[in-house]
Amino acid sequence: MRWTLSDIDRKRLTTVHGAEPMRNSCHVFLFVFAVVTYSGAQESTSNPVLHPFTVIRAGAVIDGKSDSVRRNQVIIIRGNRIESISDAGAANVPAGSDVIDLSHATVLPGLIDSHTHIFLQGEDPAQGGYDVNILKYPLALRAARATVSVRRALEQGFTTLRDLETEGAGYGDIGIKQAIEGGYIPGPRLFVSTRAISTTGGYPLEGYAPELDMPTGAQLIDGPVEARKAAREQLSHGADWIKVYMTHRSWVGKSGELVSQPTLTVEELKAIVDETHGWGKKVACHAYGGIGLHRALDGGCDSIEHGLDLDDAAIAQMLKQGTWYCPTISAYYHDWAPADTPEGQRDRKRASVHEVSFPKALHAGVKIVFGTDIGGISWSEPIAQEFPHMVNLGMPPMDAIKSATSLAAEMLDMQGQIGVIAPGAWADIVAVNGDPLADIKVLQNVQFVMKDGKVFKNEIK
Ligand SMILES: [Zn+2]
């Protein structure tokens, strides 16, 4: 049987998430399929069809929503949903259940990284930097590497990613998402934003002869009509979010301040936000500070990405509009240029203003979600390195965990479905040895991962 893309989309919308692996061998998947070896996600200790109940005995549970830790709990999972959570003494364990013993571990909801790039690989200048991705790599190679990226995320307990643009790989994120949902490759639940939008002069590739018509890492628009059209194209191809670059280059100004080049006008952004909200979707805005940041807020963006330099007016407007803040702190401690160069001074300035903005936003009560910009950072590094940055800048460990669970779920309009251990939620569950509230770094060593009711990894001793 041959399926069209819209058939697959309709079928995906009307079937239980991931319940029928290996169906619909469609031509759309071939470029990914050729390079994939898939072994992990289907080697489950519990087959929901044969054994509808799985039981987790948990030594401690941080449920992602409440402020208290519950000891000696029993979580009962039916198929891919959590059925109940209760004290071990009061639990009514169904006969014949698969039992997973995590009684010496801390159990949490699957983690959510709200800012990733599965199509970037750290961009080592010695390996050709950013440009080589677009100039030399076949899309199949980039898809193969993205397949490894999503597996890396799942291995580390990140069962959901909001992936914020493919950096010249077009709609490849839609394909990777379909491959995960179809059961071809293991990976997190993906919320994808496809190509991203910026303006002429607002995104690489740059620095080539002006006579050359170079490809770019984002879709460039000029004017509200083109802006709306780009959003329509991306949404019609399946974008879950729209990503917009509201600032581009940054440098240290004459008074020692961080300056960021603004890109879209308020009118251009408003056209995108209006269109996207009409589809019931949201807009994520990359914005460092200054004019571009204020245009992002005036244009009605739903989340500010990075937000390095938040002034008091911006914080007040974010509170008023309910704007999310995804700070991605880790990314600004990597690959600093030498201190005596303009780039090196900019790199240090970016980190130092961020260290002021984050605590200010935190104490003002801005809604903060965990995000790393990983992909910009190599996927060989731990994603959870962001947690200690947040805690060191004043966020209590429990709030840092909520920023990567229930709060991110709220931003993604998935409250109660993901980011929480509670009846009715999807069975996305992770566990660590140790207490992340005493040492947040233990989250860099997730040893048990269940996604959608299936055990992907269990190294708990
Ligand atoms: Zn990014």
* Helix boundaries (H) for 78-201: 131-135, 139-155, 172-181
pLDDT reported for residue 35: 39
Instruction: Tell me the C-alpha distance between 263 and 248, whole Å.
Output: 7
CA of 366 to the centre of ligand 1 (A): 20
CA of 194 to the centre of ligand 1 (A): 13
CA of 96 to the centre of ligand 1 (A): 46
What would the DSSP string read from start to end of 35-94? T----STT--S--TTT--EEEEEEEEE--SSSSSPEEEEEEEEETTEEEEEEEGGG--PP
Residue 132 has pLDDT above 80, yes or no: yes
**Closest residue by Cα to residue 401 from 68, 56, 58:** 68
Please state which of the ranges 1-10, 196-205, 269-278 shows the lowest mean pLDDT: 1-10
pTM: predicted TM-score of the whole model, two decimal places: 0.89
235-292 per-position pLDDT tens digit: 999 999 999 999 999 999 999 999 999 999 999 999 999 999 999 999 999 999 999 9
Residue 39 has pLDDT above 80, yes or no: no
Please state which of the ranges 25-29, 134-138, 401-405 shows the lowest mean pLDDT: 25-29
CA of 99 to the centre of ligand 1 (A): 40
CA of 77 to the centre of ligand 1 (A): 35
**Closest residue by Cα to residue 62 from 80, 85, 82:** 85
CB atoms within 5 A of ion ligand 1 belong to 373
What Cα–Cα distance (Å) separates residue 279 from each residue in 48, 221, 283? 34, 20, 11
CA of 328 to the centre of ligand 1 (A): 8
CA of 377 to the centre of ligand 1 (A): 10
CA of 164 to the centre of ligand 1 (A): 6
CA of 325 to the centre of ligand 1 (A): 13
CA of 391 to the centre of ligand 1 (A): 21
CA of 14 to the centre of ligand 1 (A): 31
What Cα–Cα distance (Å) separates residue 60 from each residue in 56, 364, 408? 11, 31, 22
CA of 116 to the centre of ligand 1 (A): 6
